[in-house]
């Protein structure tokens, strides 16, 4: 008899929560994930049109069955109005990254060509460095960073994903 010892694949889940805009909400939500052994890959909290509420976009990897339990627990929290898993739904997902590269004057043209190809912009330039701003999906930002690796990356900062359903439905 052969045992299956392979570890289950941890799928990335894109979640959105509508929460009351009150102190301590983030801590209580993070504890629900922590108790179940989930690590948050990405977390963005932003205001909504109504200042009494905030939108949280969370990306976490793990077992879908456990995630379903987490969502049920989140919905029981007083300050959580709505919790949804958007994995597999038609969504717009974007991130922003700032990449600071050390560059010599003779390398600038090549870096600017990369920026042009990826529709990135330079937001700062000195005699010895450039700061590139790029927005897009995860794969686009990963590809730009990979191509910048041949230059010396001095600093790299990336936001989490912001998620919105396509069409007229609300996230």
CATH label of the domain that carries residue 103: 3.30.70.1150
* Measured distance CA(85)–CA(126) in Å, rounded: 43
The residue among 55, 89, 123 that closes a domain is: 89
Whether residue 23 is found in the same domain as residue 66: yes
pTM confidence score = 0.78
57 plus 35 within the same structural domain: yes
* Residue 101 within a domain: yes
pLDDT (tens digit, 9 = 90+) per residue, 146-162?
A: 999 999 999 999 998 99
How far is the C-alpha of 121 from the C-alpha of 56, rounded, in Å?
27
Question: Does one domain contain both 74 and 126?
Answer: no
At 11 the pLDDT is: 76
Q: Domain tally for the chain? A: 2
Q: Is residue 142 part of a domain?
A: yes
Same domain, 64 and 42: yes
**Any idea what the CATH number is for the domain that residue 45 is in?**
3.30.70.260
Long-range contact pairs involving 39-47 (C-beta distance under 8 Å, separation at least 24): 41/12, 41/160, 42/95, 42/160, 42/161, 43/160, 44/159, 44/160, 44/161, 44/162, 46/162, 47/21
Q: What is the pLDDT of residues 57-107, one digit of tens each?
A: 999 888 888 888 999 999 999 999 999 988 888 888 999 999 999 999 999
């Amino acid at each position: 008899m052969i045992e299956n010892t392979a570890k289950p694949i941890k799928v990335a889940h894109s979640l959105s929560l509508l929460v009351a805009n009150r102190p301590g909400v983030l801590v209580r939500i993070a504890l629900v994930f922590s108790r179940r052994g989930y690590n948050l890959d990405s977390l963005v909290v932003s205001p909504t049109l109504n200042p009494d509420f905030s939108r949280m976009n969370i990306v976490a990897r793990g077992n879908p069955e456990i995630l379903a339990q987490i969502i049920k627990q989140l919905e029981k929290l007083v300050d959580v109005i709505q919790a949804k898993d958007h994995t597999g739904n038609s969504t717009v997902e974007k991130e922003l990254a700032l990449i600071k590269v050390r560059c010599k004057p003779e390398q600038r043209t090549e870096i600017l060509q990369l920026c042009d190809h990826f529709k990135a912009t330079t937001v700062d330039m000195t005699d010895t460095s450039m700061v590139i701003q790029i927005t897009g999906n995860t794969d686009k930002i990963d590809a730009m960073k990979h191509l910048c690796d041949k230059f010396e990356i001095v600093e790299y900062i990336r936001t989490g994903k912001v998620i919105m359903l396509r069409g007229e439905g609300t996230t």
